[in-house]
Every structure is written in C-alpha cells, then in structure tokens.
Amino acid sequence: MSATRNDATALVSAAPTPAAHTPFGLDGADTCVRMISPGGVFEPNAAAEQFLPYLDRLTEADHRRFYRDMVVVRKFDTEAANLQRQGQLALWVPSHGQEAAQVGSAYATRPQDHVFPSYREHVVGMIRGLDVVDILRMLRGVTLGGWVPEEHGNFHLYTLVLASQTLHSTGYAMGMQLDGSTATGNPETDQAVIVYYGDGASSQGDASEALVFAASYQTPQVFFLQNNHWAISVPVARQSRTPLYLRASGFGMPGTQIDGNDVLASFAVTAKSLDDARAGHGPSLIEALTYRVGAHTTADDPTKYRDPDELAYWVARDPIVRFRNYLQGRGIEQEFLDAVDEEAADFAADTRRRALDITGPEQSVIFDNVYAEPHPLVAEQKAWLDRYEASFDEGEN
C-alpha cells in the first residue's frame, strides 16, 4: 500500500494571475472589421473592405429599422430589469451594450434560416418575429421554454447551460445537409444556422466539440461569438490568452473579428458568412467585440469587480449613440429620432402591462410532456397529486 502523495498542504502555490485586462481590439486594431468610427463617421478600415458589397443590400428603411430596433430593445431591457426589481420576474438578463452586434447579425439572416440563441439575444428574437413577452414568461417562472420556434422565425429556445446549444445547432445544420435543404445553389431557399454564444461559453467543452463537428461535416453554420468581456465576474483574459476569433483557424474554419458595437459591420460580416454557409462553403466564426454594460443578471453586482474607467471607455463607444451620429451625418430628420424614442417608451410600457397579465400555468404542467408516450410512474403521480389536492376541497365542504 503506497502512502498518499498529494497531502502536502504546504506546497499549495498561488494561482497564476491572468494578464491585466485591456479592452483590446476596438480602437486601432486593423484586423477588426469596422465600418463606422466610434464618433459615427462612415470610414471602413482595411479589414472591412471585402465586406463592403454587402452593405449595398441595405436601404434607407433598413438603416432606420436598425436604429429603431436598437433603441426599442434597450428601453425594453431597462423595463424588464425594473420588473425584476419589483418582484415581477425571477431574473432578468440584460442586453444593454450588445444591441449592434445582435441587430446587425439578426438582419443578416433569411427567413428560412434557423437561429439558436444563448439567453441574452432578446432583439434577435424580436427581429425573427418573437413576441418578447414570451421571453418574459420564462423569466417570470411560468414556463421552461416559452415559444414554438417554427412559429417564430425559427428562433429556438433559450439555453441556460452554457454552450449546450452550439452542439444542437451543429446537429441541426447537419440535418439540413442530410435532407438536402442547403447548398442547392438557390440562395432564396438554401438554409443555414446561426448560433449565438459568448466569451464565457467559449471555454466550455461543448463549444469546442461543436466547432470540431461543424468543421468535420462542413455544416452550413455561423458561430456568432459575442465577446462582451465578462463572464459574470471573470474577465475574458481568464478565458483566453488569444483573441477568440483566432481559435477558428485551429478548428479549420474562417474566423473574423468585428467591432461588435458597429451595426453595419455586424450585418455585413454575418451576411457574407451566412451566404457562404448556404452556398455550401462550410462553417465560420465571428467574434463580435462588445461590452456587457449592465450586470450579468439582476442577481449580479458588477461594481464589485469592474473598473469604472473600463465601463466609461465602453459607454463612450455606445452602439446606439454611434449609429445615431452616423444617421445624423446622413441627414436623418430629428422627427424620426424623436418618434423612435416615443415608440420605445410605448413598447416598454405595453410590455410592462402585458408582463403583469402573464398568468398560469396549471399544475398539470409538472407532468405533461415529460414523455411523448404513456409513462406509468408519471401518470400515477399526476393522479395522486390531483386526488391529494382535491382532498383539501372536500375537507372544506
């Protein structure tokens, strides 16, 4: 019998310290695709050049829609956080700061595409046709899901175990290949998948396995990684010592880093990546550099771990302010901007009213749909609970 060899408590050494966090990428890095400067001037950098033709797809109405959606979702996001503070939601997951990355990429999808979100992509759901009150149903604790993906723009359910959805999306994309729904040469019908995940989730094994499977089977798929720089309290430097888009080449697929607070960069790069995926050119990865301006969730307090100067740096690069400056530079009328603010306020107020009206569910949801086919144990327990609870009513009579 050998002695235990790892009980030398005196030998415990200090954990290595991660590199000091720097908000790398946004300013100055010419590998990071950017169309609009932080000040709101259209000045594409060299990395943006190959993506410029994709901007030709956008009309003036599209620009207005981008702006409108970013403003509306921020107001909604604030209202939802308020609802949580007032005890009306179990939790809220803010998207403040990430609007450009989400709006641009969502508009790059086509109706036939499938979208696998993480749990912070509220505006992506809106753009795909989801009623955001359905998102609130889940966070109010009346459902574990909330909507039927196929009836809401193929926007799949939120997934709360980080990176699990990356594998589901890859399997789904494999299915598109197997049933011949992609790479037929018709961009109007060819399908693709976009999956959202983040810098924290990028450390999960499932994210790596999804990239392996995607590259292996050359799935029609875009991995859209929102690097919002914080996984609750842990900075991205703890997750990765290399820019995350560079990981793509290790898996054998193209990787592109974008200024995630530039809605046009997000649109153009995602549009190209999805086009390539639909055309049979395989998967790719986009790293959108952005920032979680708010807390991770309403249960979090970022003042405990974040440098206020860093927050100020990113607030000064706000995606909505940037795009408004850009639109104003193009001569957008103030009336439009004012009308959007009004619409956003109405939307948030309406959301609040409808959130407070959310009711249900019946206790039978405990048992319904655990299995598709009859299951004696579940049936027995459902009948027992009904009898048990009915026995109280009988007692009152």
Partner 1 sequence: MTAATDTSVASASLPMTKALNAGLRRAMLDDPSVLLMGEDIGSLGGVFRVTEGLIAEFGDKRVLDTPLAESGIIGTAIGLAMRGFRPVCEIQFDGFVFPGFDQITSQLARMRNRHEGGLIMPVVIRIPYGGHIGSIEHHQESPEAYFAHTPGLRVVSPSNPHDAYWMMQEAITSNDPVIFFEPKSRYWPKGEVRFDESGTPLHASRVVRAGTDVTVVGHGAMVSVLSQAADLAQAEGISLEVIDLRSISPIDYAPILGSVQKTGRLVVTQEAPGFVSVGSEIAATVAERAFYTLEAPVLRVSGFDTPFPPAAVETHFLPSPDRVLEAVDRVLAY
Residue 226 β-bridge partners: 198, 288
Q: Strand pairing partners for 289?
A: 227, 259
Using CB under 8 A as the binding rule, whether residue 383 contacts partner 1 is answered as no
Of 54 and 197, the one with the shorter C-beta distance to partner 1 is 197
DSSP 36: B
Stretch 89-148 residues interacting with partner 1 (CB under 8 A): 143-145, 148
CB of 116 vs partner 1, minimal distance in Å: 9
Q: How far apart are CA 218 and CA 354, in angstroms?
A: 43
Residues 72, 73, 74: CA angle, nearest 5 degrees: 90
Query: Which stretch, 3-11, 14-22, 320-328, 363-371, contacts partner 1 (CB under 8 A)?
Result: 363-371
**CA distances from residue 366 to 4, 137, 158, 159 in whole angstroms, order as listed:** 48, 16, 20, 20
CA 332 – CA 160 distance, rounded (Å): 40
Closest CB 225 distance from partner 1, rounded Å: 17
What are the residues whose beta carbons fall under 8 Å from the beta carbon of 54, sequence distance 6 or more? 267, 268, 269, 271, 272
Give the span between the Cα atoms of 202 and 177, in whole angstroms. Answer: 25
List the one residue from 309, 372, 393, 395 that touches partner 1 (CB under 8 A): 372
Instruction: Tell me the two tokens of residue 352.
Output: 């609040």
- In 3D space, the residue among 322, 323, 326, 307 whose CA is nearest the CA of residue 23 turns out to be 307
Does 77 help bind partner 1 (rule: CB under 8 A)? Answer: no
CB of 375 to partner 1, least distance (A): 6
Residue 196, sorted as left (phi over 0), alpha (psi -120 to 50) or beta, turns out to be beta
Nearer CB in complex with partner 1: 35/130: 130
Interface with partner 1 includes 19 (CB under 8 A)?
no
DSSP label at residue 155: B
**Is the Cα torsion angle 38, 43, 46, 52 positive or negative in sign?**
positive
In whole angstroms, how close is the CB of 203 to partner 1 at the nearest point? 14
Cβ closest to partner 1, residue 81 vs residue 211: 211
Q: Cα separations (Å) of 312 from 74, 316, 318, 326, 346? A: 18, 6, 10, 21, 29
| Interacting span for partner 1 (CB under 8 A) from 97-105, 175-183, 306-314, 318-326 | 175-183
Residue from 186, 216, 233, 364 in contact with partner 1 (CB under 8 A): 216
When binding is defined by CB under 8 A, the residue of 24, 40, 112, 209 that contacts partner 1 is 209
Of 210-218, 262-270, 315-323, 346-354, which part binds partner 1 (CB under 8 A)?
210-218
| Residue from the set 353, 371, 389, 390 that interacts with partner 1 by CB under 8 A | 371
Q: Does 176 bind partner 1 (CB under 8 A)?
A: yes
User: Minimum distance between the CB of residue 125 and partner 1, rounded to whole angstroms?
Assistant: 16
Q: Select the residue interacting with partner 1 from 28, 87, 185, 205 (CB under 8 A).
A: 205
In angstroms, what is the minimal distance from the CB of 365 to partner 1?
Answer: 8
Q: Which of residues 144-173 bind partner 1 (CB under 8 A)?
A: 144-145, 148, 156-157, 159, 161, 164, 166-173
Which of 58, 378 has the CB closer to partner 1? 378
**Which regions of the chain does DSSP assign to beta strands (E)?**
32-33, 114-116, 193-198, 221-227, 230-231, 234-235, 255-259, 284-289
Does 212 bind partner 1 (CB under 8 A)? Our answer is: yes
Nearest Cα neighbor of 112 from 153, 172, 171 is 153
Helix, strand, coil shares of the chain, percent, nearest 5, are 50, 10, 40
| Nearest distance, CB of residue 334 and partner 1, angstroms | 45
Yes or no: say if 326 and 267 are a contact pair by the CB < 8 Å rule.
no
CB count in 10 Å sphere of residue 20: 7
Query: Quick one: which segment of 72-80, 120-128, 207-215, 229-237 binds partner 1 (CB under 8 A)?
Result: 207-215
Give how many residues touch partner 1 by CB under 8 A: 40
- Cβ 303 to partner 1 shortest distance, Å: 32
Which residues of the shown chain bind partner 1 in the complex (CB under 8 A)? 143-145, 148, 156-157, 159, 161, 164, 166-176, 178-179, 205-206, 209-210, 212-213, 216, 365, 368-373, 375-378
